[in-house]
C-alpha cells in the first residue's frame, strides 16, 4: 500500500460569543483536517493542532510531497521521514503539528486495513468508556454566566469541570474561583487553566489565594518559555501542576519529568508528534509517577484519536471534552456521542471511527 495524495481540509466554525482566556480571546475555531488517499482505496483522517494555516502551508508546500509513496502501515518509516530525516531538525512547532496529523491519518488507514478499531494496535482495550471532564468554562465579566455554564455541565452527568481564568490578576479572579466552587459543591473536581498567562509572581500569588478551594490542578500557570521556574512554583503549593499542550515529542517531556516540573502531563496527539509519540510520553510519565490527561480541544478527529489512546493506556485519566456547541465534534461520528455516568464510549468501528462527510465540508470548509 502506498500514499498517493495528502489533502488538507480547512474547517472553520464561527462562535456566538468570544472564548476569553488569560491572553485574549477568539471568535472562530479553525481546524486543519488531513485526509490521506492510498492506492488501495483506503483513506485516513488526521488533525494538526496549533495554527491551522501554518499547518496547511507546511503540508501543501513540502510535507505532503514527502509522504507520497510511503506505506502508511509502516508507521516508523513515516515518522522517520517526516520527523527525523530532514537536514535541519524541526524540534518543535508547526512542522511537528503537521507531521502529527499525517501520522494520525496513517494509523487510521492501518487499522482500517486490518479491520480493527485503532485501540487494538495500541495495546488493546483496557476500558470501553473514558471518564471526561468539561473544559468549556471561559472568563466572563459576568460571573453568573460562568456559574450557569458550570451548572449546565453538571446536568450532563460530568463530574469534573475546568475554567479558563486569569484574564485579570489573581486577587480579582479569586471571586470567580470562589463562585465556581460554591456552585459545583465540594465533591466535584475543579480545575483552573491559566493558559500560560501569568508571570511567576502572579502564579505564586494565585496558588496562595486559590489553594483553599481544593483545586484538582492548576494548568499552564507559566509561559512554556519560563518552565525552568515550575519546580520552584511547585515547591510553594500543594495544588498539582498540569501542562504539556505546548510541549513537543518525548524529549521535551523528559526534561519536564526529570526537573520535577509537572504533576499531570498533557500531551496533545495532534501536536506532540502523533499517536505513537503520545503513547511513548504516556509510558514515560508512568515511569516517573506522573499522571497523564491528554490535551484534547479541537474537532471530533482529535477526540476520536484521544479516546483510542486512553482506551489502550490504563494509567491515563480524565478525557478533556468540550461540552459546548463550539467545536465540530458530533458531526464526525456516525453514531451519536452519548455520556454514560460522565463517561464517553470508545468508538468501535475500524480505524479512528470518524468520517469526513460531504455535509461537514459543505457547512464548515473554508
DSSP symbol at 92? S
Same domain, 145 and 47: no
Same domain, 134 and 96: no
Element (H, E) at 20: strand 3-21
pTM above 0.95, yes or no: yes
Same domain, 282 and 161: yes
Percentage, residues of the chain above pLDDT 90 = 90
Residue 87 confidence (pLDDT) above 70: no
Instruction: Work out the average pLDDT over 46-72.
Output: 97
pLDDT tens figures, 175-205:
999 999 999 999 999 999 999 999 999 999 9
CATH number of the domain residue 271 falls in: 3.20.20.120
Same domain, 166 and 234: yes
CB proximity list for 74: less than 8 A, separation 6 or greater: none
**Cα 38–10–281 angle (5° rounding)?**
70
Q: For residue 340, name the pLDDT band (cuts at 50, 70, 90).
A: confident
Same domain, 64 and 210: no
Domain count, the chain: 2
3-state class of 290 per DSSP?
coil
Q: For residue 339, name the pLDDT band (cuts at 50, 70, 90).
A: confident
Residue 136 confidence (pLDDT) above 70: yes
Same domain, 124 and 33: no
Contacts 24+ apart (CB under 8 A), 148-157: 150/180, 150/183, 150/184, 151/183, 152/323, 153/323, 154/184, 154/188, 156/323, 156/339, 157/339, 157/340, 157/341, 157/342
The boundaries of the domain holding residue 250 are 120-352
Same domain, 29 and 107: yes
Same domain, 111 and 133: no
Q: Are 224 and 253 in contact (CB under 8 A)?
A: no
CB proximity list for 245: less than 8 A, separation 6 or greater: 220, 266, 267, 268, 271, 295, 297
CATH number of the domain residue 48 falls in: 3.30.390.10
Element (H, E) at 233: helix 230-234
Same domain, 186 and 208: yes
More confident residue, 19 or 171: 171
Maximum distance among all alpha carbons in the chain?
60
CA 359 to chain centre: 25
Query: End-to-end alpha-carbon separation of the chain, Å?
Result: 31
For residue 332 the three cell numbers come to: 464526525
Same domain, 109 and 125: no
* Residue with grid cell 473554508, as numbered in its chain: 366
**Per-residue model confidence (pLDDT) at position 83:** 94
Same domain, 102 and 168: no
CB proximity list for 366: less than 8 A, separation 6 or greater: 10, 11, 12, 30
Residue 133 confidence (pLDDT) above 70: yes
**357 — alpha (psi -120 to 50), left (phi > 0) or beta?**
beta
Same domain, 76 and 158: no
Q: Give the integer Cα–Cα distance in Å for 195 and 245.
A: 10
**97 — alpha (psi -120 to 50), left (phi > 0) or beta?**
alpha
Amino acid at each position: 500500500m502506498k500514499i498517493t495524495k495528502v489533502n488538507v481540509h480547512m474547517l472553520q466554525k464561527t462562535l456566538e460569543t468570544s472564548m476569553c482566556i488569560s491572553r485574549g480571546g477568539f471568535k472562530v475555531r479553525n481546524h486543519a483536517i488531513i485526509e490521506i488517499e492510498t492506492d488501495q482505496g483506503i483513506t485516513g483522517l488526521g488533525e494538526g493542532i496549533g495554527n491551522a494555516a501554518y499547518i496547511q502551508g507546511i503540508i501543501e508546500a513540502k510535507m505532503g510531497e514527502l509522504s507520497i509513496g510511503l506505506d502508511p502501515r509502516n508507521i516508523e518509516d513515516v515518522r522517520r521521514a517526516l520527523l527525523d530525516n530532514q537536514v535541519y531538525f524541526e524540534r518543535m512547532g508547526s512542522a511537528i503539528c503537521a507531521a502529527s496529523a499525517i501520522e494520525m491519518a496513517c494509523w487510521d488507514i492501518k487499522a482500517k486495513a486490518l479491520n480493527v478499531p485503532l485501540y487494538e494496535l495500541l495495546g488493546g482495550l483496557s476500558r470501553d468508556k473514558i471518564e471526561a471532564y468539561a473544559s468549556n468554562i471561559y472568563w466572563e465579566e459576568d460571573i453568573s454566566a460562568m456559574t450557569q455554564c458550570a451548572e449546565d455541565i453538571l446536568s450532563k452527568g460530568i463530574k469534573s469541570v475546568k475554567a479558563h481564568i486569569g484574564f485579570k490578576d489573581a486577587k480579582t479572579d479569586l471571586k470567580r474561583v470562589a463562585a465556581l466552587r460554591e456552585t459545583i459543591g465540594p465533591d466535584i473536581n475543579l480545575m483552573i487553566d491559566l493558559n500560560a498567562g501569568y508571570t511567576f509572581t502572579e502564579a505564586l500569588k494565585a496558588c496562595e489565594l486559590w489553594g483553599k478551594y481544593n483545586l484538582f490542578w492548576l494548568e499552564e500557570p507559566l509561559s512554556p518559555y519560563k518552565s525552568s521556574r515550575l519546580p520552584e512554583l511547585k515547591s510553594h503549593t500543594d495544588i498539582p501542576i498540569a501542562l504539556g499542550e505546548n510541549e513537543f515529542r518525548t524529549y521535551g517531556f523528559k526534561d519536564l519529568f526529570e526537573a520535577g516540573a509537572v504533576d499531570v502531563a498533557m500531551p496533545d496527539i495532534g501536536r506532540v508528534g502523533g499517536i505513537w509519540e503520545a503513547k511513548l510520553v504516556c509510558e514515560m510519565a508512568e515511569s516517573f509517577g506522573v499522571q497523564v490527561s491528554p490535551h484534547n480541544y479541537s474537532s471530533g478527529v482529535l477526540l476520536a484519536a484521544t479516546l483510542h489512546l486512553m482506551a489502550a493506556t490504563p494509567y491515563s485519566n480524565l478525557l478533556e471534552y468540550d461540552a459546548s456547541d463550539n467545536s465540530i465534534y458530533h458531526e464526525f461520528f456516525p453514531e451519536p456521542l452519548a455520556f454514560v455516568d460522565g463517561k464517553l464510549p470508545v468508538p468501535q468501528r475500524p480505524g479512528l471511527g470518524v468520517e469526513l462527510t460531504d455535509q461537514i465540508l459543505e457547512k464548515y470548509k473554508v
